């Protein structure tokens, strides 16, 4: 009998974004690395006056290497000896070269290093693929299952069917276009992401949506693992305020955050978050989390806002110790 020939693996593999081929721990590690790097990228772009998501035109010096574990190090460790680098940049206004401070040159080189590391890890496509795998049904599905169950408990689906209507749902940060396919009879879903990976997902920055155009337009808004991804605390608060403005009078907001954002933050607790959301104009209807878990979920109804009176404008340390710095400001 002839010896069986081993099937060759094609050089260009097909997209396996929906297949759970990676181990959960590997997926979580890669996602955490991307979170750190993309946050650093956004902060550096803001400090340099660059638009969010803009690609840096800075090249790394040939003698500079990127440490394999740079995503777990402080920002300064990625830069290396940037003060000695000689880099020329064009002025946006006049097109002529302008002298730069050592600090500006260091930040620009640091941005180039961060972007290089993002590409080394596979770019944004790799991050989205890992996140999509994490939402696979063999791993418990996505947070939409919690949202759907709460809406059913409130009788939203029955109301829609009896009135022969569908509620308009804006799903911010959607990685898959069909998360709510099972609810198509009572939900009209618009999936959206900052960088779409599917033709059916609208590519849009939520913070740049026209507030007047969308005021009161949406019955439901989902912010699942979105707010924690926004780099600046005040932009996180703005996102929540914008969501309230865009909801209809009896609209619902679904919020999902990594549990440590609340349980292990210096600046945020469950009580503080509840007070902040009440001030914005949300009434907490449901919440779900467990000790030692990874996620926390909330369902809010639109309510009347309260006077801010200077509250939530500055960071206030609520707990000390070895904690993270997650914070939401207004």
Nearest to 113 by CA among 27, 44, 50, 194: 44
Is 140 one of the annotated binding-site residues? no
Model pTM score: 0.69
- Neighbouring CB atoms inside 10 A of 277's CB total 20
Is 235 one of the annotated binding-site residues? no
Q: What is the pLDDT of residue 4?
A: 57
Return the sign of the alpha-carbon dihedral for residues 173, 177, 183, 189.
positive
pLDDT in tens, 65-84: 333 333 333 333 333 333 33
Return the sign of the alpha-carbon dihedral for residues 112, 118, 122, 124.
negative
Q: What is the pLDDT of residue 117?
A: 86
Q: What is the pLDDT of residue 123?
A: 75
Give the chain's residues under pLDDT 70: 1-28, 31, 35, 52-100, 124-141
List domains and CATH numbers for the chain. Answer: 24-92+99-131 (no CATH), 142-302 (3.40.50.150)
Q: What is the pLDDT of residue 130?
A: 60
Q: What is the pLDDT of residue 170?
A: 98
Q: What is the pLDDT of residue 93?
A: 43
- Neighbouring CB atoms inside 10 A of 285's CB total 14
């Amino acid at each position: 009998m002839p010896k069986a020939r081993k099937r060759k693996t094609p050089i260009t593999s097909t997209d396996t974004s929906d297949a759970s081929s990676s181990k959960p721990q590997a997926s979580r590690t890669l996602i955490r690395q991307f979170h750190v790097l993309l946050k650093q990228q956004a902060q550096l772009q803001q400090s340099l006056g660059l638009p969010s998501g803009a690609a840096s035109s800075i090249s790394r010096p040939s003698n500079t290497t990127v440490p394999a574990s740079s995503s777990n190090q402080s920002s300064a460790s990625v830069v290396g000896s940037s003060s000695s680098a000689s880099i020329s940049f064009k002025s946006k206004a006049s097109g002529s070269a302008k002298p730069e401070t050592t600090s500006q040159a260091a930040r620009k080189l640091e941005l180039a290093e961060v972007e290089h590391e993002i590409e080394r890890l596979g770019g944004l496509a790799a991050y989205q693929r890992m996140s999509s795998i994490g939402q696979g049904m063999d791993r418990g599905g996505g947070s939409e299952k919690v949202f759907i169950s709460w809406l059913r408990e409130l009788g939203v689906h029955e109301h829609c069917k009896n009135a022969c209507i569908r509620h308009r749902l804006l799903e911010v940060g959607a990685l898959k276009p069909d998360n709510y396919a099972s609810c198509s009879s009572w939900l009209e879903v618009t999936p959206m992401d900052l960088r779409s990976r599917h033709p059916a997902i609208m590519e849009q920055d939520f913070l740049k949506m026209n507030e007047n155009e969308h005021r009161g337009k949406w019955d439901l808004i989902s912010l699942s693992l979105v707010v924690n991804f926004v780099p600046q605390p005040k932009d996180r608060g703005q996102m929540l305020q914008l969501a309230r403005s865009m909801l209809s009078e009896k609209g619902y907001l679904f919020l999902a955050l990594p549990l440590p954002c609340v349980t292990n933050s210096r600046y945020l607790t469950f009580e503080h978050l509840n007070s902040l959301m009440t001030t914005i104009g949300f009434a907490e209807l449901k919440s779900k989390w467990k000790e030692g878990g990874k996620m926390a979920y909330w369902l809010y109804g639109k309510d009347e806002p309260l006077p801010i009176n200077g509250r939530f404008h500055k960071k206030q340390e609520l707990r000390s110790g070895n904690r993270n710095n997650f914070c939401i400001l207004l």
